[in-house]
């Protein structure tokens, strides 16, 4: 992904900053600048999520996406945050340890890199709640 | 609005075609379909070409004009040609645009085609191109792959409904069984539940035999107003419904990730337009890019109760000759999945079935068939219903 394309979303990725619609009280992560429910009537503000969440579903990826080859097998999940929205992220744990309903909390981690010399992407991954990094 | 009929069809062979180029494939399909319809070039009013990612797979954009040119429809007669893109639903959507053109009365004879040449790049590059059908900024960046997204659907389906790996595998076994009788199919070898479960794990719980392959292929149909269809063929197949729906691009934003709401919505609209119900459908070609996708599809289209798609497949109710034959062609699993072509190829299978030309795959007395073509993890769904009777 290009540097500017990544850069624009850096705050959201680093700090789990999404958005909240004051009109309908829905929370969004990834952030949206238009409320999909209220559309133009919505009132969007930034919102920092606590990061507390639960694994809604997951998979263990053995055949990696391009650039993730060194990480296999890795656990990818959909995490439901306690404020409501869901997001896709890696879960840093043993692949046998993950289960649906597992409580997780966020950690700041390297996500990937453009080749050997390229830009390094950082962002939020999740760990089992009782595991401290 | 005018009634529309399909008057000609042609698939190329599906598979790894190292010796053939993107344009070779589309021209073979297009010329074949035009020949099947007995139409001459000057009669063609417009064409629509479904293609997901020529830019990434063959580094060629401007596909519409390219195909018109190499089909001999650009010079002198200057037939308008439009590329249509909706990821793996590109073909279904090209067909839908063609139907619009004829139904509106703007055009009479229209070609709807779909094509993809996926093996000109290494498979890692192909996977990366396919991943562009999901949300690159919020799924792809986390290491999500297409099998990974469908694996998460499968995991949830298993958790909620008790669907098993054996039930998933039974989809692949059935589709390979059907595909052995399809001359265009990429894989004609037979597999068993055991061999699926023993094949390497791509994204838990999906094994490699749960996944459709990377494939080259093209498909084309010729459309005409129903009123004049008999001038070209004794067996026109009528379009009873065309429907499309959208959903969130990212899987994580769905209401319920085990239900493809876009497919449900497109299905409902199609049933309404055709004034039909699931029980009126004699057979369906559904988007089995992964085995779990077929299970979701038969639930979303109303052929199985929610959560019972796996059991129903395992019990053989979706085999040829059973309650509702699904993917008589062999599906994406056995035929292969040249992403832009798939939606058109599905329609061709239904046409061949309704014409009674499906050979050993023939569903006895088939009169009404449905196609279900999905883009991404369910952000686009296109559903068509075809009938032998107008
Ligand atoms: Zn709102």
Structure confidence at residue A1 as a pLDDT band (50, 70, 90): low
- Give the distance from residue B299's alpha carbon to the nearest chain A alpha carbon, in angstroms: 20
Structure confidence at residue A132 as a pLDDT band (50, 70, 90): low
B337 among known catalytic residues: yes
Structure tokens at B119: 């093996």
Per annotation, catalytic residue among B157, B207, B287, B337: B337
The helices-and-strands tally (H runs, E runs) of chain A is 2, 8
Structure confidence at residue A10 as a pLDDT band (50, 70, 90): confident
Q: How far apart are CA B318 and CA B74, in angstroms?
A: 44
Please list every residue in chain A whose beta carbon sits closer than 8 Å to the beta carbon of residue B138.
Answer: 30, 87-88
Identity of the residue in A1, A86, A100 whose CB atom sits nearest the CB atom of B141: A1
Beta bridge partners of B312: none
CA angle B219, B221, B227 (to 5 degrees): 170
Q: Please report the pLDDT score of residue A7 as a whole number.
A: 78
Contacts of B99 (CB under 8 A, 6+ apart): B4, B112, B223, B239, B242
**Tens of each residue's pLDDT in chain B, 390 residues:** 899 999 999 999 999 999 999 999 999 999 999 999 999 989 999 999 999 999 999 999 999 999 999 999 999 999 999 999 999 999 999 999 999 999 999 999 999 999 999 999 988 888 889 999 999 999 999 999 999 999 999 999 999 999 999 999 999 999 999 999 999 999 999 999 999 999 999 999 999 999 999 999 999 999 999 999 999 999 999 999 999 999 999 999 999 999 999 999 999 999 999 999 999 999 999 999 999 999 999 999 999 999 999 999 999 999 999 999 999 999 999 999 999 999 999 999 999 999 999 999 999 999 999 999 999 999 999 999 999 999
**Closest C-alpha among B89, B84, B110 to residue B98:** B110
Please list every residue in chain A whose beta carbon sits closer than 8 Å to the beta carbon of residue B250.
Answer: 30, 88
| Burial profile A90-109: b = 16 or more Cβ within 10 angstroms, e = fewer | bbbbebeebebebebbbeeb
State which H helix or E strand residue B366 sits in. none
**DSSP states along B317-341:** TTSTTSSS-B-TT-HHHHH---TTT
**Closest C-alpha among A72, A71, A61, A64 to residue A109:** A71
Please list every residue in chain B whose beta carbon sits closer than 8 Å to the beta carbon of residue A65.
Answer: 127-128, 131, 140, 143-145, 148
Chain B interface, best mutation among A33, A36, A59, by max B CB count within 10 A: A59
B289 among known catalytic residues: no
Q: Please report the pLDDT score of residue A112 as a whole number.
A: 84
**DSSP states along B140-204:** GGGT--HHHHHHHHHHHHHHHH---HHHHHHHHHHHHHHHTT-TT-S------HHHHHHSPEEET
State which H helix or E strand residue B219 sits in. strand B216-225
Structure confidence at residue A131 as a pLDDT band (50, 70, 90): low
The alpha carbon of A53 and the centre of ligand 1 are apart by a number of angstroms equal to 22
Residue position matching structure tokens 């005018």: B2
Taking each helix axis as running N to C, give the angle between helix B291-300 and helix B261-274, from 0 to 180 degrees, rounded to the nearest 10: 50
| Burial profile B140-173: b = 16 or more Cβ within 10 angstroms, e = fewer | bbbbbbbbbbbbbbbbbbbeebebebebbbbbbb
A1 vs B136: CB contact, 8 Å cut-off?
yes
Residue A133: is its pLDDT beyond 90? no
Chain A interface, best mutation among B121, B127, B134, B142, by max A CB count within 10 A: B142
**DSSP states along A68-80:** -GGG-SEEEEEEE
The alpha carbon of A37 and the centre of ligand 1 are apart by a number of angstroms equal to 5
Predicted structure pTM score: 0.97
Residue A66: is its pLDDT beyond 90? no
Mean pLDDT, all residues of chain A? 91
A3 near B CB under 8 A: no
A5 near B CB under 8 A: yes
Taking each helix axis as running N to C, give the angle between helix B165-179 and helix B291-300, from 0 to 180 degrees, rounded to the nearest 10: 90
Structure confidence at residue A113 as a pLDDT band (50, 70, 90): confident
Residue position matching structure tokens 């063929």: B233
Provide the percentage of residues in chain A whose pLDDT is more than 90: 73
Please give the backbone phi and psi of residue B364, each rounded to the nearest 5 degrees, phi first.
-55, 130
């Amino acid at each position: 992904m290009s540097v500017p394309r990544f850069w624009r979303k850096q705050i959201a990725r680093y700090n789990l900053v999404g958005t909240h619609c004051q009109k309908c009280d829905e929370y969004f992560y990834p952030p949206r600048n238009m409320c999909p429910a209220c559309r133009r009537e919505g009132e969007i503000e930034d919102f920092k999520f606590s990061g507390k969440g639960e694994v809604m579903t997951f998979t263990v990826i053995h055949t990696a996406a391009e650039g993730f080859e060194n990480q296999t097998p890795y656990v990818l999940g959909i995490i439901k945050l306690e404020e409501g929205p869901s997001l896709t992220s890696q879960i840093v744990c043993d692949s046998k340890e993950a289960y649906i309903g597992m409580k997780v909390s966020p950690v700041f981690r390297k996500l990937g890199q453009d080749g050997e010399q390229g830009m390094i992407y950082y962002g939020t991954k999740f760990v089992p709640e009782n595991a401290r990094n | 609005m005018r009634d529309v009929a399909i008057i000609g069809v042609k698939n190329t062979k599906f598979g790894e075609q190292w010796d053939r180029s993107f344009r070779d494939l589309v021209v073979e399909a297009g010329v074949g379909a035009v020949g099947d319809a007995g139409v001459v070039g000057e009669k063609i009013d417009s064409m629509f070409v479904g293609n997901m990612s020529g830019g990434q797979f063959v580094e060629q954009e401007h596909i519409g004009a390219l195909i018109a040119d190499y089909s001999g429809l650009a010079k002198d007669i200057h037939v308008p040609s439009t590329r249509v893109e909706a990821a793996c639903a590109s073909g279904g959507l090209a067909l839908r645009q063609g139907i619009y053109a004829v139904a509106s009365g703007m055009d009479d004879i229209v070609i709807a085609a779909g094509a993809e040449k996926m093996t000109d790049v290494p498979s890692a590059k192909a996977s990366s191109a396919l991943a562009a059908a999901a949300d690159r900024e919020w799924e792809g960046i986390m290491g999500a792959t297409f099998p990974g997204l469908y694996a998460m659907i499968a995991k949830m389906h298993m958790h909620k409904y008790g669907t098993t790996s054996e039930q998933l595998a039974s989809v692949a076994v059935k589709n390979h069984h059907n595909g052995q009788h399809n001359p265009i199919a990429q894989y004609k070898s037979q597999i068993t539940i055991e061999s699926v479960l023993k094949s390497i794990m791509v994204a838990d719980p999906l094994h490699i035999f749960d996944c459709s392959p990377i494939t080259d292929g093209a498909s084309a149909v010729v459309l005409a107003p129903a009123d004049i269809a008999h001038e070209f063929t004794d067996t026109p197949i009528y379009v009873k419904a065309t429907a499309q729906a959208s959903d969130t691009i990212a899987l994580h934003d769905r209401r319920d990730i085990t239900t493809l709401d876009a497919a449900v919505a497109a299905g409902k609209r199609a049933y309404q337009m055709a004034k039909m119900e699931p029980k009126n459908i004699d057979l369906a070609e559904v988007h089995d890019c992964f085995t779990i996708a077929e299970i979701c599809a038969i639930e979303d289209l109303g052929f199985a109760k929610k959560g019972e798609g796996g059991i129903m497949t395992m019990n053989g109710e979706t085999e040829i000759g059973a309650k509702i034959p699904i993917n008589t062609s062999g599906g994406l699993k056995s035929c292969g999945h040249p992403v832009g072509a798939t939606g058109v190829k599905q329609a061709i299978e239904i046409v061949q079935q309704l014409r009674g030309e499906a050979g050993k795959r023939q569903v006895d007395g088939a009169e009404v068939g449905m196609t279900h073509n999905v883009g991404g993890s369910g952000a686009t769904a296109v559903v068509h219903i075809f009938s032998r009777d107008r």
